[in-house]
Structures are given as C-alpha cells and as structure tokens.
Structure 1
C-alpha cells in the first residue's frame, strides 16, 4: 500500500474521530446546561412502544421505548416519548421514573436516569476515542521503521541473518488486506541463542528481491534492539 494512501487513511480516521469528539463535547455541554436549568419531577410509565430494527447483517432486534406521563409545577400534564430504546424493558408500565423538564417549556422533558441522559453521549465519546487512537496508531506504525533506522545508527553490531520466510503480517489489516513481512534468523554462537528478526511491512511481495541472508544492525548488549536493512528492496511507487 502506498505511503500516501496510508497517510490519507490515518487522517481520515483521525478526522472522523475529531467530528465525533466535537459532537460529544457539544452534546455533553447541552446536557449539563439542561440539567442545571431543569426541574425534577416524578413521572409514570404509561406505555411501552415496541420497534423492530434490522442490522446490516439482517439480524432483527426488538427495542422498547417507554412513554412517560408527568405533571409540571403548574399542574399541567405532559407526555414524554423516549427517543432512546433498549433491548429489554428497563421499566414496567405503572412504574415511577425521574423526569427533568425546563420550567419555561414544561413539555420539553427528558427521562432523568443516567442511561437516558448520558448513554448516547458515552457511545459518541467512545467512538471519538477509538477513531482518533486508530488514526494515530496507523501513522505511528507506518513510521516505525524510520525510527528504528535512526536508532540503529548508534548500534555497533551488524549480523548477516538467514532469511527464513516471508509471511502475511496479520496483526495489521487495512481495507481487508495484510502486509508482507520478512523474517530472518541468526545464531549467536557465543550465547548459543537463536534470534528472530522481522522487517518493516511491505504492501507487495518482496520475495523476488531477497538473497539468502540479510544485514541486521543490532545492539550487542541487547539483540532485541535492531533494524533490518531492506534498503535494497524497491519502494512502491506513489
């Protein structure tokens, strides 16, 4: 995959995350303002609307939306149709439930439970965090080889590791695709240990450009700190 494409994908995830973040901040502020200005009363669940929804995989799920009747400070009655449903009834018909409403507009009421007031906002905040972190991680891992190469400039050991295999790095997936990764091993005769070295990710199969061995710069005090020199392998065209 082209570096430009990876950068665009990382920016896209981060951008969507920022949009969710702005929605979350705005919604949270609106909820806080509403709670500060509102008056509390006890409403009664008078009905339970049932709606069936089908997800993208064709699985149907039943949701329950409470209908609540409440009386404001002036004795006027109002009916609140909840816009938030749940997979199972959270309350029963005839049950009392907290309601918040604005004194200047008593018909503008909301069920005052945590789930109804903050459930939607929590989902938005979680989506914001997930998208922003994903965008950051895509950018972070795409530049990991550059960081390793820079650190390797002060490593004093260079070993010729035997190329063992080229695999799909399934720990990374973008648009349903996983990159290729070169694995090489080296036997440290002094400690009689085998070290496995892994290359950066390639979005094309580098096998035809490989030789029997590949140079690896490493820290002789800790061979787990290394950088595999794949500079002889062509870069994918932009």
Structure 2
C-alpha cells in the first residue's frame, strides 16, 4: 500500500480520534447535566427554519421555560432536523443547569444523543479505518524488513507494468510491476507484484529481470526491489 496507506491512515486516525473525543465529551456533559440538572417543562413557541448546504429546509425548536425562581428563559435546540418534531404550543420536558439556566436541553433521545452519537460513531469509524491502514502498512514494513534481513533473492523475468485500477487517488491510478520466476528453495514458478508506483517502467524493464526478495517457505511473501528505478515520491 506504500505511502498511500500511510497517508490515508495518518489523516483518518487523528481526525477520527478527534471526532470521537468530541462525541464522548458531549456524552459526558450530558450525563453531568442529567445528574445535577433540574427537570422542568416548557412550551414550544417557535420552530426556527434554516437551510442546509443542499438547500433542504431544517427545523430547530425554540422553547420558553421558567426556572425554580420563576425567571423566564428561552432555549433554542442545537439539533436541526428535516422535519418538525414539535408543534407550536406543545409542552416538552427540559433539563437545565441550576447555576446557568441557559445551559439546557430538551429531554429527548434526538436532542440529547443525536450529535454526541454522530460524532462518536463517525469518529470511531474513521479511527478504525485509519488504524487499519496503518496496521497493514506497519505489518508490510516489518515483513519487508525481515525479507531484507534473510536476503533470499532471485532475478525474476519482467512481465508487465500495468495500472492498478483498484487504487484511485484523485482520479489517478498507480502502476505495479509484474514479474515471474522460480522460487530459489522450492523451484516452483511464481508470480510477483511490486508495491504501487507512479511510473510506467515498461520501457526500462522490457527484456530484463528485476530482483525479488522472497520468504524461504512461500513466494506469497515477497518484495520486488525497484530502488534502482524508483525513488522518493515516485512510490505511490
């Protein structure tokens, strides 16, 4: 997977962890408010309308309620939906912070858990995807290092250099070198595939052999050495 995997993992993992941390911090704040807050009822006085980036209409309820001192407060939900959950004049239950009544929330699953669950869920998914890419690349890096230490190599016949259409980076597909040769220990004919690169090496390698490092027991674990032709950012 090369630098592509490190790049994807390096972006997805921290972003995912950040989103997950935000989500769990929201959940922690909600738990604190639910534990120490005061429950009361309020009346929906309005549904504020807005539009999202696609132009779709969104609704956010505005609720009037009184604290234990009888002071009237106005609360607008931060949760916006494509439908209006509440009708004007409807009575709803709220939880508010007695030290700061402006810190309030409608006591419903949508208002209390939608944003925290979205951040925590998406963040966890992003982090897992990123960690998956990083772990695969780390495993491959350790595998290549082991192959280099064992230094069991062969000169494989160049077959072709073709684009790997399974990998798409901004509409670009990297190349892979394909070669074949006999395993130096088993004598079996095997096919080998290089890491993705941004070069078409067909002209350079036609009619030549390429060095390949292989595991002593299986040709499935191999590393096509292209350092003579590929360097730096030319690795995908």
Fold shared by both chains (TM-score > 0.5): yes
Partner of 1:201, secondary structure, is: coil
C-alpha offsets along residues 15-65 of structure 1, whole Å, 9 cap, x if unaligned?
A: 444544553454333222222211123334333222122x2xxx3111111
- CA distance, structure 2, for counterparts of residue 89 and residue 105 of structure 1: 27
- CA distance, structure 2, for counterparts of residue 167 and residue 231 of structure 1: 19
Say whether the 8 Å CA contact 2:156–2:179 is kept in structure 1: no
Partner of 2:51: 52
Partner of 2:83, secondary structure, is: coil
Partner of 2:221, secondary structure, is: strand
- CA distance, structure 2, for counterparts of residue 126 and residue 194 of structure 1: 47
**RMSD, aligned CA:** 3.9
Partner of 2:204: 209
Number of aligned residues? 228
Shift of 1:147: 2.7
C-alpha offsets along residues 113-169 of structure 1, whole Å, 9 cap, x if unaligned?
A: 222122222233345435544554555555565333233355868473542332135
Partner of 1:49, secondary structure, is: strand
Q: How has the CA–CA distance of structure 1 residues 107 and 145 changed in structure 2, closer, same or farther, with 3 Å as cutoff?
A: closer
- CA distance, structure 2, for counterparts of residue 235 and residue 90 of structure 1: 58
Which is further off, 108-117 or 210-219?
210-219
Partner of 1:115: 110
Q: How has the CA–CA distance of structure 1 residues 121 and 164 changed in structure 2, closer, same or farther, with 3 Å as cutoff?
A: same
Map residues 58-97 of structure 1 onto 2, 5 A cutoff: 59-97=54-92
Say whether the 8 Å CA contact 2:42–2:64 is kept in structure 1: yes
C-alpha offsets along residues 162-181 of structure 1, whole Å, 9 cap, x if unaligned?
A: 423321353353x5544322
Q: How has the CA–CA distance of structure 1 residues 206 and 98 changed in structure 2, closer, same or farther, with 3 Å as cutoff?
A: farther
Q: How has the CA–CA distance of structure 1 residues 71 and 197 changed in structure 2, closer, same or farther, with 3 Å as cutoff?
A: same
- CA distance, structure 2, for counterparts of residue 156 and residue 204 of structure 1: 26
Say whether the 8 Å CA contact 1:169–1:181 is kept in structure 2: no
Q: Which has the higher strand share?
A: 1
Structure 1 alignment gaps of length 5 or more = none
- CA distance, structure 1, for counterparts of residue 204 and residue 141 of structure 2: 21
Q: TM-score normalized by structure 1?
A: 0.71
Say whether the 8 Å CA contact 1:155–1:220 is kept in structure 2: no
Partner of 1:120, secondary structure, is: helix
Q: How has the CA–CA distance of structure 1 residues 45 and 122 changed in structure 2, closer, same or farther, with 3 Å as cutoff?
A: same
Structure 2 alignment gaps of length 5 or more = none
Residue in structure 1 matching 2:98, options 85, 103, 120: 103
- CA distance, structure 2, for counterparts of residue 209 and residue 196 of structure 1: 19
- CA distance, structure 1, for counterparts of residue 178 and residue 91 of structure 2: 64
- CA distance, structure 1, for counterparts of residue 73 and residue 11 of structure 2: 44
Q: Does 1:231 align with 2:227?
A: yes
- CA distance, structure 1, for counterparts of residue 181 and residue 43 of structure 2: 73
Shift of 1:110: 1.1
Which is further off, 115-124 or 65-74?
65-74
Say whether the 8 Å CA contact 1:167–1:183 is kept in structure 2: no
Q: TM-score normalized by structure 2?
A: 0.71
Q: How has the CA–CA distance of structure 1 residues 166 and 66 changed in structure 2, closer, same or farther, with 3 Å as cutoff?
A: same
